[in-house]
Amino acid sequence: HIHNFAIVPTLDLDLQPGFTAITGETGAGKSILVDALGLLIGDRADAASVRSGAERAELSAEFSVENNKEAREWLEEFDLSSDACCLLRRTININGRSRAYINGSPVTLAQMQSVGQLLVEIHGQNEHLKLTRTAEQFRLLDGSGDYSSEITLLESAFTDWQRIAFELESLEKDVSVSASDLEFLNYQLAEFQQYDLSVDAIAALQTEHDRLAAGGSLLEALTRGIELLEPDSSVGLAGINSNLNTTLDHLQEFTGLDADIKNACDMLHEASINCIEAITALRTARDRVDLNPDRFEKVSKTLSQLHDLARKHQVRMEELEVVMQTLAARIDNASSSKQYRNRLEEELQDSLDNYRTAAKKLHVKRKQHAADLSKRVTTLMGELGMAGGTFELVVSLDPHAGPTRRGDDDVQIRISANPGLPPGPLNKIASGGELSRISLAIKVAASRGDESITQIFDEVDAGIGGETANAVGKLMKRLSADGQALCVTHLAQVAVCATHQLQVRKANLKESTLVDTRLLDETSRADEVARMLSGKISKQSRAHALELLKNGAMVS
């Protein structure tokens, strides 16, 4: 669905499986459809995308992912799955800002690009430039090969090697301690170890200091409290407890006469018991009072030293034990790191050996597949008017290369578009038209016959004609046999090989330009092919068109 995009006010397309040719006059707006799909799979947008006079453009496309395992897994991973469909939607405002949605949920442009490349491949006239990238060459080779188990084995071996290498690197950073540093750390630890730094011990020391500091004042208060509570006959003091008991004796016989008297007597009795217990506690506390000035000085000195140690390490006194434990652990790690390092180095070598073994196995598979793929592409090049040309996918092994997730292989594409010429770099040997055909040959040769993504070809057949154009059409039909391919083309020979043909038309109105499409039936398709052949519809061009359509229908 396209709304207010470029010169399109509103357009809805229902694209069928198989090969669909998109045709129309030059400038009719065929590439607008490709541009719209490009934006739906993450291309950059700007304000120029919005139709003149509109506030925003809106694009959406629904893809079946029933047979696309990778796309389904991606959608599930990001909690965006919706049955067997993937609905991409994008809006572009007049200020150039855009928003992206997958199955109704807002997503980032990067997410739209990630899922887009699992749904659509757009092949333009410069498609061959992608093949100069190493990542694309490996994708071409491994994506069409039948050695997934060897790839999985290599990736697992690389992951093990990478994990151990990282652990060894981290060890070097974390426990790398010089002899002088180790000596200083041991000196610091000795400072801590001369004290009991547990939280309880520090709290007890602080309490003892406070009690010693109180000294005589505390002893006087305890003695006075005992005197007030306890009777002393020698000086004629009755004491609070004695007075409580005397009062209780006077009232006890009247408890049955008044409930309040009874309650009062109960409270006095309880108070008397509490007084006796209080006297005992105060005596015990008085016996513990230490007026030893030497002990007070020692405790004060220890606390002062602990305060200095805490200030030195910029922590609270209660956190000193944690600092000591950290120091001890670092010293222990530094002391034992040599053995640990030796063990990691042995494990790293073992994992590297496993990686090299897996890389060699994968190399053998890749080299075999590259040779087969090269033969198939070379054969197809002959069908596309480059008989005598050669295609070489060269796989070489570098056993001294640093481990990578791709293995130890180096991949290069070398071609010769004409007989008698030695193969050379892809982008220096062939013309633009030849490169487009070579790219198509590679795509067909690398196809596994179960394509689950939509292939879009945007005028990749430019600059060819005759039998070569027939061959291009046949190859595109073969490529889309079990999937879906769309091709924007000006060539009748390509269009007649399509399963369906979509015509794009442009209407120039007084104040605007509109683009429309229609799926052609047999009659209108013959007219369109006749126009493509001669620029106009005549009896002769229509007869030629019918003949081409008949031959195209027999292509398999």
What are the pLDDT digits (tens) for 103-126?
999 999 999 999 998 999 888 766
How far apart (Å, rounded) are the C-alpha atoms in residues 155 and 149?
10
Q: How many Cα atoms are found within 13 Å in the side-chain-facing hemisphere of 334? A: 20
Termini Cα distance of the chain: 31
Token code pair at residue 223: 């003695």
Structure-model confidence comparison of residues 231 and 46, the more confident one: 46
Q: How many CB atoms lie within 10 A of CB 372?
A: 13
Query: Could you report the per-residue pLDDT of 389-400, keeping only the tens digit for each?
Result: 899 999 999 888
Pairing of the two strands 484-488 and 18-23: parallel
How far apart (Å, rounded) are the C-alpha atoms in residues 546 and 540?
10
Q: Three-class SS string for 227-272?
A: HHHCCECCCCECCHHHHHHHHHHHHHCCCCCCHHHHHHHHHHHHHH
Please state, for a pLDDT cut of 70, what percent of the chain lies above it. 90
CA–CA distance from 156 to each of 149, 161, 354, 363 (Å)? 11, 9, 10, 16
Burial track 324-351 (b if 16+ CB lie within 10 A, e otherwise): beebeebbeebeebeeeeeebeebbeeb
Give the mean pLDDT of the chain: 85
Please state, for a pLDDT cut of 90, what percent of the chain lies above it. 31
Structure-model confidence comparison of residues 207 and 501, the more confident one: 501
The whole-number pLDDT of residue 527 equals 92
Whether this model's pTM surpasses 0.95: no
Task: Give the relative orientation of helices 466-479 and 432-446 as an angle to the nearest 10 degrees.
Answer: 30
The whole-number pLDDT of residue 247 equals 86
Query: Could you report the per-residue pLDDT of 224-236, keeping only the tens digit for each?
Result: 777 777 765 444 4
